[in-house]
Structure 1
């Protein structure tokens, strides 16, 4: 039946091994129309059906998510069948080289080393991650450096992006008094790589202000760590002393009484007492 086939079939490979395929449903297709996606790496293989469909509000399949996709040199075949009330209707078929639909990951491990105003800054990075490219020379890079002149007023002086096939770039216009940020992306350089530009890397900031703020934060962090260690040592010493101090034993009154020698104590009391003088008076009779 006409007017039931899909439109705008698009597949994208991202993050090395994930692939999303999506399509639009014809506006004249009825609500009970359903779509099923099949694909295979080469002609000698059998078609495999999608295991993770993307659905719209009417529960119709409008896409598929794939995992563990490996890019190969051959073209992959895609087939979308449609059915309505148990009847097979208009289908869609296409063949796509997988490397052409890959969205390259950003270059990784970007470092900036500014050794002096005369020499500038050396920017280095690692190539994007892919499942089928091992040569560094297969990529071309675009380096975008911006001079954030006044962050408070949001004034920027963007420089013209520079392209290179190397994995390093020397930035000659470095000014120690200013602050910069750099981001890099990649594309094909004569290999089986997508000719579309990949994703931009996360901007990396460098410059005097950034270095000073980083240094100040490091000093603050070290000071806090030192103070915390000193406090911990003081508390630990206090508790150790308190724990090791001898604990006074309570006196046992019955034990003390039983150990006393009452006879000796009584004799000592008698010795201390002075003898009383007895005076006898005799009255003379007249």
Structure 2
């Protein structure tokens, strides 16, 4: 029956060895129709069924997830059958060159070095990961360098794009150390068995003095917090020492005078007593 076969069958290989295939159900099929996907990566292999289906809200199969897919120079064969008791459903068949449906990973290890290059910065990277292509010459790159806005100077965002870069590096000229930049890169085919669609963007990398200032400001903030914490700690320690000073004890009359002082006082008393006796004797004789 016309209109019962699936529509919009699409497969995408991503992250080197994962593949998703999706489709839309036929326009005229009842809600209880079920689809089944079979595929093989060469003409000599046997078809094997999907092990991890994607389902819609009605529980119907609308896609399949695959792992450990090897691209190489393979043309895969896909077959989607449908089943429903009492009704004939159209089958769907398609052949796909696997390298054409790969979504390239981002270029790896993107770095920016603005020292040693006269009035410029050297941007370097590694090729994207693939399972079947190892030569650098198989890729070309698109580079976008954005000059971000500076609210203090009321500047606007600007960007510069280069989309036919070969190799693993690019010299960004007219670098202004007072500005802040962001660079991102993606790859595509350059004459090999690689998808002609652009791959995924790399994580943006920031460079420029404004970025360094923000980092320095954050460092100063941490230093200020640390200093304030240290001062607060020292104040607490000082207060504890003050409050824990020894309390003066009352004087002990029995231990107040040392033996040396006691002997001196005793000798003075003897001299005073003898003097009184002499005076008394003189008075009696008189």
Q: Confirm or deny a common fold (TM above 0.5).
A: yes
Q: Which residue of 1 aligns with 2:108?
A: 108
Deviation of the 1:70 alpha carbon: 1.0
**CA contact 2:144–2:161 (8 Å) conserved in 1:** yes
Partners of 1:226 and 1:65 in 2: CA distance: 56
Q: Secondary structure at the match of 2:51?
A: coil
Instruction: List aligned pairs for 1:179-258, cutoff 5 A.
Output: 179-218=180-219
User: Compared with structure 1, are the counterparts of its residues 42 and 189 closer, same or farther at alpha carbon in structure 2 (3 Å cutoff)?
Assistant: same
Q: Secondary structure at the match of 1:160?
A: strand
Partners of 1:137 and 1:151 in 2: CA distance: 42
How many aligned positions are there?
232
**CA contact 2:16–2:131 (8 Å) conserved in 1:** yes
Runs of at least 4 residues of structure 1 off by over 6 A? Answer: 222-229
Deviation of the 1:47 alpha carbon: 0.5
Moved more, 1-10 or 157-166: 157-166
**CA contact 1:81–1:88 (8 Å) conserved in 2:** no
Alignment of 1:155 with 2:190, yes or no, is: no
**CA contact 2:119–2:174 (8 Å) conserved in 1:** no
Partners of 2:102 and 2:223 in 1: CA distance: 45
Greater fraction strand: 1
Q: Which residue of 2 aligns with 1:9?
A: 9
Moved more, 117-126 or 105-114: 117-126
Deviation of the 1:86 alpha carbon: 6.3
Partners of 1:225 and 1:130 in 2: CA distance: 48
Moved more, 192-201 or 112-121: 112-121
Deviation of the 1:116 alpha carbon: 6.4
Deviation of the 1:219 alpha carbon: 6.2
Q: Which residue of 2 aligns with 1:24?
A: 24
Moved more, 87-96 or 200-209: 87-96
Q: Which residue of 1 aligns with 2:176?
A: 175
Partners of 1:187 and 1:141 in 2: CA distance: 6
Structure 1: which 5+ runs fail to align?
230-286
Partners of 1:51 and 1:24 in 2: CA distance: 19
Q: Which residue of 1 aligns with 2:277?
A: none
Q: Which residue of 2 aligns with 1:65?
A: 65
User: Compared with structure 1, are the counterparts of its residues 86 and 16 closer, same or farther at alpha carbon in structure 2 (3 Å cutoff)?
Assistant: farther
Alignment of 1:81 with 2:81, yes or no, is: yes
Partners of 2:86 and 2:74 in 1: CA distance: 34
RMSD: 2.5
Relative to the length of structure 1, the TM-score reads: 0.74
Moved more, 11-20 or 153-162: 153-162
User: Compared with structure 1, are the counterparts of its residues 224 and 14 closer, same or farther at alpha carbon in structure 2 (3 Å cutoff)?
Assistant: farther
Deviation of the 1:215 alpha carbon: 3.9
